[in-house]
Amino acid sequence: KVNIKTFPLIISYFQTDLGVCRKLLKKFSAETEESADITKCLSISNVTAYCADNASVNFGENQSLYIELKKIIENIVSIGCICHKIHNSIKYGS
């Protein structure tokens, strides 16, 4: 009937006794996959890095979620897709 996009917001943090921990912070929905619409759903202030798959909506040079986040958080770090980095490392290393 309708096409609603759902996005998970997952936080990664480190605890000395447990190591790296990941938690689902919240899920939110947007009617489109446009970066400006997705950014409007977020309320972030202490984010230091952004990690997502390498789709253009996430990391495009002209208009992307990362570009929108940079407008809000000047020093945010782009991590990209860790799975793609591991895959490419193994692919080119072998």
Q: What is the pLDDT of residues 26-50, one digit of tens each?
A: 888 877 777 777 777 777 777 788 8
pLDDT averaged over every residue in the chain = 83
Q: Say how far apart CA 15 and CA 6 lie, in whole Å.
A: 29
The predicted model scores a pTM of: 0.64
Residues of the chain with pLDDT under 50: 1
Buried b (16+ CB within 10 A) or exposed e, 11-30: eeeeeeeeeeeeeeeeeeeb
